[in-house]
Amino acid sequence: MAALTRRALAGAGAALVLAPVAWAEDEIVLVETARLDDGLRLAYVERGAGPPVIFVHGSLSDYSYWDDQLPAFAGTRRAIAYSRRYNWPNRNTAGAGYSAVADALDLASMIELLCDGPAHVVGHSYGALAALILATRRPELIRTMVLAEPPAVSLLAHAPAPLAASGRAMLADIQTRMVAPMRAAFLKGEREAGVAAFIDYCAGDPQRWTKMSPQSRAEILKDAHEWDVMLTAGELFPEVAPEAVRAIRTPTLLLSGGRSYPFLAVIDETLASLLPNARRIVFETATHQMWLEQPEACRRATLELQNRA
């Protein structure tokens, strides 16, 4: 069986093989650990050669979210996917103040450690929020970025005129009926109840979590440790200032699902009105998981953006 050769990181950190991960019947890819300056270790996989593309997963997920995309990008790119600091299989010690801002700083460290210059960044959901925040702070590290529905919830208060009232109402509702119950549950150590509050709210169904199979619930809970940290000693939705977004000049692609959660559509429309160098694509039949439901269309649009840069 063929294996992906580990990349040497001499002088910039160290890489340790954690385990082989199957890509196909005839090959494996090695999971490595990037050791950052602050002692954090982030598991990642990489494949291919060429301009670097870093994939950042969302909440209740890990690097394996991108398993189907890395081989497809690897024909022309060096494709890298990593797990955010408290997601499987990472075992970092919990620290106070965790939020998408910390994830953005981790992303900056990964780019500086693994790449020789700026990278193309592809983020889904909370990973897209981390990428957006990084673009407001260290734009020189990002060559292009693809944002698939980042939950930049604070921007709901700054929705364009036709959506202003509904945006403010959505923001208040999220804080009251989603964030507050989640935080209360996690503060009591009731992880499953906290995750259920999130799932039920987003689905608009108070029984959505209980309707899921035990296997599906277990798979989701595997990556819920990030919220153990974030909702007890951090911040779920840090502020993103409209003026900071307006200052971003990075070529950006916004990917939206036409059947996704309504508040994310308002956030994406707000982002489209603020970002000076952005294009938005709405996949009308897709949900929030457009990368899983329409992978080829998402990939084509992403490569088109990257090829123009």
Residue matched to tokens 């689905």: 203
Contacts of 183 (CB under 8 A, 6+ apart): 194, 231, 232, 236
**Cβ-contact 268, 254 below 8 angstroms:** yes
Evaluate the omega torsion of the peptide bond into residue 295 and state whether it is cis, within 30 degrees of 0: no
Q: Which of 32-36, 77-81, 82-86, 89-93 is least confident?
A: 32-36
Dmax over Cα atoms in the chain, in whole Å? 58
Given 3.40.1160.10, 3.40.920.10, 3.40.50.1820, 3.40.50.1370, which CATH number is that of 2-156+237-308? 3.40.50.1820
Q: How far apart are CA 245 and CA 176, in angstroms?
A: 26
Rounded CA gap, 276 and 289, in Å?
Answer: 26
pLDDT top residue among 36 and 190: 190
Report pTM. 0.90
User: pLDDT tens for residues 235-285?
Assistant: 999 999 999 999 999 999 999 999 999 999 999 999 999 999 999 999 999
CATH 3.40.50.1820 positions along the chain are 2-156+237-308
Angle between helices 191-203 and 225-233 in degrees, nearest 10: 90
As given in the structure block, the two tokens for residue 270 are 């707000």
Percent over 70 (pLDDT), the chain: 90
Q: pLDDT (tens digit, 9 = 90+) per residue, 138-161?
A: 999 999 999 999 999 999 999 999
Token pair, residue 60, equals 């209740």
For residue 165, give every residue at least 6 positions away whose Cβ sits within 8 Å of its Cβ, in sequence order, or none. none
Q: Is the dihedral of CA 286, 289, 290, 296 positive or negative?
A: negative
Whether the predicted pLDDT of 124 surpasses 50: yes
Number of helices (H), then strands (E), belonging to the chain: the values are 13, 11
